[in-house]
Structure 1
Amino acid sequence: MKIALICSDRGPAPPVKGGAIQLLISKIAPLLAKTYEVTVFSVTDPSLPDTECTNGVCFERYDKDQFFQQVCERVKQVQFDVIQVYNRPGYIPLIREAVPRSKIILSLHNLVYNTLKVERSLAEAAFREADWIFTVSRFIAEDTAEKFPVASAKIQPLYTGVDLDDYSSIWSKRGRKWRNKIRSLYNLDSKDPVILFVGRLVPDKGCHLILGAMNEILKNVKHAKLLIVGSKWYADKSTSKYIERLKKLAREHEHSIVFASYVPVEEIPKYYAAADLFICPSQWKEPLARVHYEAMAAGLPVITTSRGGNHEVVRNGKNGIVIDDYKNPAAFAAASIDILNDPDKAIAMGKAGRKDVKNIYNFDRVTSDIALLYTKLFESSEQGTNSSS
């Protein structure tokens, strides 16, 4: 069976410039390639060849301004059995026109209106033509079904995850080695309680809420530090008005706050190992940020908000804390103090989260689910053919 995985056009695969979708595809493609012929389509990057085959996967990369046109031509030439399109509903109708007999799956990682901003007529056409729609969370599934009833019967929530081997828990030998390396790099004492933020530095991600909570945290947690990993965009170390605002907020406690800026995706696991607590203070209706899986894989307790789908993987009181009062810095301060001043609770939450990743939120499970859904898709098609005959 020939499978095409079509990336969004926001970055290349593998994710040399970052990107959750690019990382997901790059991780599951070799696993799918054990069973299927897999081709990944993405935009070009100077550091990557236009075509290559590695780990059983063929990569084809096209310039961004011609990406979709080139992909359409290729899928028409090759005639893939399954074409899985990531986060671009607008591609679906034209792909269907190019390959009427292929099974087409839309993997939806954002809200259709709020983030992707697809016109209603085009979105409805996409949902009609798609054979199946995978969503990154129940939140995205329910929002899509409510706004587009035509899609409701085709929607299947499919949680993603991480490669557990890429992460080391803070109590493992490799994790301690990484912990010492990163802490030394930023002059953080080995005994400092470290809070970690990882994400783009934009208002919706809410980093300012943690900075607003630091005054109260420092009153109650001796030598607490905040390590901020991120930039305004992937692989972009330039500043912005919001970043300057964050640095201004940090001045009051400048010796307790570290800005690490952009960190390459392959180095990120080391930063999780250096921390004691992870906070995702998201202020927007986040689909479900992969940083939750990453923090859990590293054995960190997680504080997140009830916005969007983030809370679907954080079991309140079990592997972390979910904040309902998400605009209030005091709420983040109280939750942080509660965890950091109770090491036994922090370790129990961290171990529960890592167990969740081992059992559920990992790429082996994601790949297995996708393969099963591929099979069901063709079985239902054969049944439909047999019944019509």
Structure 2
Amino acid sequence: MRAAFVTPGAYPVPAPRGGSVERVVENFVPLLADHLEVRIYGRTAKGLPRRGMLHGARCERIRAPGRRAYLSGVVAGLRAYRPQLIEVENRPRLVPLLKRQFPGARVWLHLHSNTFISGKAISPKELRTCLGAADRILVNSFFLKADVEKRSPRSTAKLGVVYPGVDPAWFGGRALREAVRSARGWQHRQIVLFAGRLIPLKGVHHLLAALPALVRRHPNVLMVIVGSPFYGSNRTSAYSRKLLRMAKPWRRYVHFEPYVSHEHMPAWFGMADLTVVPSVRREAFGLVNVEAMASGLPVVACRVGGMKEIVEDGVTGFLVDPHRLAVELPERISLLLEDEMLRLRMGAMGRERVLERFTWRHTADRWLAELQRDLGTGGMEE
């Protein structure tokens, strides 16, 4: 059986300089290659061939200056490939278009966030039309599933949850911990790590607001903030400049590290004592949670969105009430900083939880289970 995976076209596959959707695709789709013929469609980039193989999955890269040209290139590639299944990644509007172009194929929609189903991105009426055209809709958390059901109750029967994951062999390497810390002069600091884009959604301002209380109780604390406002870029924004102003009086206790490529992130997780994910809304999953847990770190996250499905409160870290961040965030961080055995125990439990349910192999297996359900409904001919 032939299956095609159409990425948004914002970043290439593989996406070394960012693109969370592309990163999910590049990691789990090749694991399907033992079961079906798979082909990934994405944009081209310097140094990447128009066609190539990625661990058993063929990549078709489109040279296109804009969205319309990219879509035309994808359609031309699909006509030549003639897939029986086309999966659209995170772009609902493409579903009815591809369904019209390829009426004999099953067209799935795989939602990685609720960004493109929100009222700002698409009208409720158009969204219902797009979801109605999909033969199956995959989401990355039960939180996102409930959101889609609320927006389009008729889509319930089409929905399936496929969690993203991590490569546990890639994370978890703490052998170089002291060497890396020593190289930066941080060997005697307690490191609280944030990793992600510097946008209001991620809540870094809440983390910085907790810093004065943390410094009073832990004078050797160091808050390390890794990331920038834009994927693959060190450009600043009004929000990131606001964060720098907030941190200025506490410069001895804060380190900003601009954009770090995904391949170098294990070292940053490895040197930390714990990770904080202070997103207060609309976080459908939060891949950084499982990356931190795979690295053996406890996680302090907000009790919102899909993060409630990842972090087990009191076991692999702590979930804090988004309405009580000013009190609960410094309290939970302090509790972990004060108790090394608690940190180690929660970190070990977090890695065990990842190995049990959040690897890319789990992602691929869940996807294949959704395929079997679709086949079972008579939606596709072998």
Q: Give SS of 1:48's match.
A: coil
Letter in 2 for 1:373: E
- Measure the CA separation in 2 of the matches of 1:64 and 1:365: 36
- Measure the CA separation in 2 of the matches of 1:114 and 1:307: 17
- Measure the CA separation in 2 of the matches of 1:359 and 1:220: 36
Where does residue 157 of structure 1 map in the other structure?
161
Match of 2:71 among 68, 73, 77: 68
Where does residue 108 of structure 2 map in the other structure?
105
- Measure the CA separation in 2 of the matches of 1:330 and 1:302: 17
- Measure the CA separation in 2 of the matches of 1:268 and 1:115: 34
Letter in 1 for 2:265: I
- Measure the CA separation in 1 of the matches of 2:181 and 2:374: 49
Letter in 1 for 2:164: T
CA deviations 1:53-104 (Å, max 9, x no partner) are 2322111111251112221222233211211111011000111111112122
Match of 2:142 among 117, 138, 142: 138
Specify whether residues 326 and 230 from structure 1 end up closer, same or farther in structure 2 by C-alpha distance, changes over 3 A only: farther
CA deviations 1:230-264 (Å, max 9, x no partner) are 00111111222222221122122211211111001
2:20 is aligned with 1:20: yes
Letter in 1 for 2:83: F
2:356 is aligned with 1:359: yes
Q: Give SS of 2:30's match.
A: helix
Q: CA deviation at 1:116?
A: 7.0
Which moved further from structure 2: 125-134 or 289-298? 125-134
- Measure the CA separation in 2 of the matches of 1:160 and 1:54: 18
Letter in 1 for 2:113: N
- Measure the CA separation in 1 of the matches of 2:119 and 2:329: 26
Report the count of equivalent residues: 377
2:188 is aligned with 1:182: no
2:167 is aligned with 1:167: no
Which moved further from structure 2: 343-352 or 271-280? 343-352
Q: Give SS of 2:186's match.
A: coil
TM-score under structure 1 length normalisation: 0.92
- Measure the CA separation in 2 of the matches of 1:25 and 1:115: 26
Specify whether residues 239 and 184 from structure 1 end up closer, same or farther in structure 2 by C-alpha distance, changes over 3 A only: farther
1:306, 1:326 within 8 Å by CA — same for their partners in 2? no
Where does residue 303 of structure 2 map in the other structure?
306
Specify whether residues 326 and 260 from structure 1 end up closer, same or farther in structure 2 by C-alpha distance, changes over 3 A only: farther
2:166, 2:360 within 8 Å by CA — same for their partners in 1? yes
Match of 1:82 among 82, 85, 90: 85
Q: CA deviation at 1:115?
A: 7.4
- Measure the CA separation in 2 of the matches of 1:325 and 1:58: 43
Letter in 2 for 1:217: L
Specify whether residues 116 and 2 from structure 1 end up closer, same or farther in structure 2 by C-alpha distance, changes over 3 A only: farther
Where does residue 171 of structure 1 map in the other structure?
none
- Measure the CA separation in 1 of the matches of 2:225 and 2:274: 12
Match of 2:328 among 327, 331, 335: 331
How large is the Cα RMSD of the aligned pairs? 1.8
- Measure the CA separation in 1 of the matches of 2:337 and 2:152: 44
2:164, 2:360 within 8 Å by CA — same for their partners in 1? yes
Letter in 1 for 2:58: C
Which moved further from structure 2: 98-107 or 227-236? 98-107
Point out where structure 2 has 5 or more consecutive residues left out of the alignment. none
Point out where structure 1 has 5 or more consecutive residues left out of the alignment. 169-173
Q: CA deviation at 1:44?
A: 1.8
Specify whether residues 87 and 76 from structure 1 end up closer, same or farther in structure 2 by C-alpha distance, changes over 3 A only: same
CA deviations 1:108-131 (Å, max 9, x no partner) are 122244377123333222222211
